[in-house]
Amino acid sequence: MRNKMFPFSLIVVILAPFLVKCRQQGEKEQRATQATTPISVDSTAALWYKNSVMYTLDVEVFQDSDGDGTGDFKGLTQRLGYIDSLGADVIWLAPFQPTPNKDDGYDVSDYYTIDLRLGSMADFQNMIKAADARGLRIIMDLVVNHTSNEHPWFREAQRDTAGPMHDWYVWAKGRPENYDVGMVFPGVQKTIWSLDSRSGLYYYHRFYDFQPDLNAQHPQVQAEIKKIIRHWLNLGIAGFRLDGVPFFIEVPQTKGEKFEHQYELLSQMRSFVQSIRKDAVILGEANVLPAENEHYFGRQGEGMNMMFNFFVNQHLFYALATGEVKPLKDALDATSEIYPNAQWGQFLRNHDEVDLGRLSKKDREKVYAAFGPDTSMQLYDRGIRRRLAPMMHNNRKQLELAYSVLFSLPSTPVLRYGDEIGMGDNLALKERNSVRTPMQWSESFNGGFSSSVKTVRPVVDTGIFGYPSTNVALQQKDTASLLAWTARMAHLRKQCPEIAYGSWRLLNSGSPQVLVMLYSWQGKSLLMLHNFGKEAVQVQLDREDVDFPHLQLVATSGAVVKTDQDIPVLSLPAYGYYWGRSATVLK
């Protein structure tokens, strides 16, 4: 009888799951190694965005130069010196193109010029030149996931359903099954498909019904987006904050709410942007789970250069609200594996609500209780529509802790205009407009923003956050002001390349309320401790982790290091922080 061999094909079938698992584990370990590999000195110039401080503003509420009540580019140009002195070297501009202004400029009606309320194209170009002279880079919002329904493209798509522009948008003949699911603004927005009375068809809109989604899969739309990108890069823009990235790259369907994503659109955009301006960047707005990050950054870093870390932001607010740091540590670990040329953008507040949608309902309620207990302070069943200072009851120690953490995280810090002076909000304004009030420059009329009786949005003028009490001019005279402190920390952050280019790891603090991070780069180490608790605490760290005898103070809020004992002890006051540098590379 012939010996029967075990079929090779059967062996392959049996081993296939194991081999796939091994490959996936190998790829994960490779990414982890890449993520913790320090950047060489020779690479830092090309990766300028890693060691920058970003300042975000909306031109229409920053400075009015001509007294019509609306901020403009001439006004921004006048204030560039202030932004420079603050320590920022990148300015991210909210949309400034023509718009019906139903969504604060995010409903664009012309991608190639300037909203006349904000000035002329010449004013814009003069601002770019003035910024460049100061070494300030300008990036702008690129809102190509949708247009205004008043855009000529959409008007033509409505008018001629057989014409070439019709397919620039997404249509359905009958009411789709998923017409009322997956809203970006639940509680305010009613549907994601709306009936167009002119064409008799339903059109797709992930956002408001006056913002029809562009069909990004259409070759002509892709070509048009490239024209828009080239136009602004040629005018001196240094990059783009890409709005609503998951919705830009999704392939809409008439059923369900979880759609396929065309991630290759991001690498194609990155390649095109850098073919025109090599040092230009794409900063993406993508509130996604950590498992999806690789799709947006690219497997080899060929996707977006930067992405906002919403996942860490939400857990940071949980830590600030409760004093518990473990969820924050877990979030940092979960988002640590990114390619070396990629970078997180980290923020405390931005132009939207504090989105807490990734937290459990129980944890979200804890943050609500601390920072937004009244329902008027909450929004979209997931967030808080307040500025940072009023959320924290203007507690200076907690505000300093929050910003010390921001500047110390493995990311590029992003500052929201006005938060550096502790501006307040106006909850009487609709939805997110509560945190979009005009900049408060002085004690003069309208806080020095405008000489007009009527302004584009009311200036906060009463209480401790009103412009007579909270403004730039007053704080510039006080070396102990929040503005002075924030500027010192911003400059200090840029003097710590360990954070930008080094490897990092979390250390065990022995306390549930203390976050400890250790950075290493080019022969130096940087130790950073933050006490999220309301009480002082003593932290004991291992001598093998920290070179205490050679630790030099970088910044602190009153922490004390005691090394005259077997186990070095670091005492942190309530909401205290400590930054210390060692000339020793620690393992």
Q: Write out the catalytic residue numbers.
A: 243, 285
Q: 14: helix, coil or strand?
A: helix
Which among 91, 16, 108 is positioned nearest to 56, based on CA atoms?
A: 91
Q: Which two tokens stand for residue 426?
A: 């106006």
Beta bridge partners of 354: 384
Q: 485: helix, coil or strand?
A: helix
Beta bridge partners of 431: none
Q: 159: helix, coil or strand?
A: helix
> Which pairing describes strands 412-416 and 193-195: parallel, antiparallel, or unpaired?
unpaired
Length of the chain: 587
CB 386 within 8 A of CB 425: yes
CB 283 within 8 A of CB 345: yes
Q: Residue 580 contacts by C-beta under 8 Å, 6 or more apart in sequence?
A: 526, 527, 528, 551, 552, 553, 554, 561
CB 242 within 8 A of CB 285: yes
Alpha helices in 90-137 (DSSP H): 121-133
CB 147 within 8 A of CB 212: yes
Amino acid identity of 114?
Answer: I
CA distance 281 to 237: 10
CA distance 506 to 497: 18
Strands (E), 513-576: 514-521, 524-531, 537-540, 552-556, 560-562, 569-572
Phi, psi (rounded to 5 degrees) for 509: -90, -20
Q: Which helix or strand (DSSP H or E) is residue 55 part of?
A: strand 54-57
Q: Residue 375 contacts by C-beta under 8 Å, 6 or more apart in sequence?
A: none
CB 55 within 8 A of CB 80: no
Q: Residue 34 contacts by C-beta under 8 Å, 6 or more apart in sequence?
A: 337, 339, 340
CB 417 within 8 A of CB 55: yes
Sign of the Cα torsion 86, 90, 92, 96 reads: positive
CB 283 within 8 A of CB 271: no
Q: Which two tokens stand for residue 246?
A: 């998951």
Q: 378: helix, coil or strand?
A: strand
CB 212 within 8 A of CB 218: no
Packing angle of the helix pair 264-276, 219-234 (nearest 10 deg): 30
Q: Which two tokens stand for residue 435?
A: 């945190």
Q: 155: helix, coil or strand?
A: helix
Amino acid identity of 429?
Answer: L
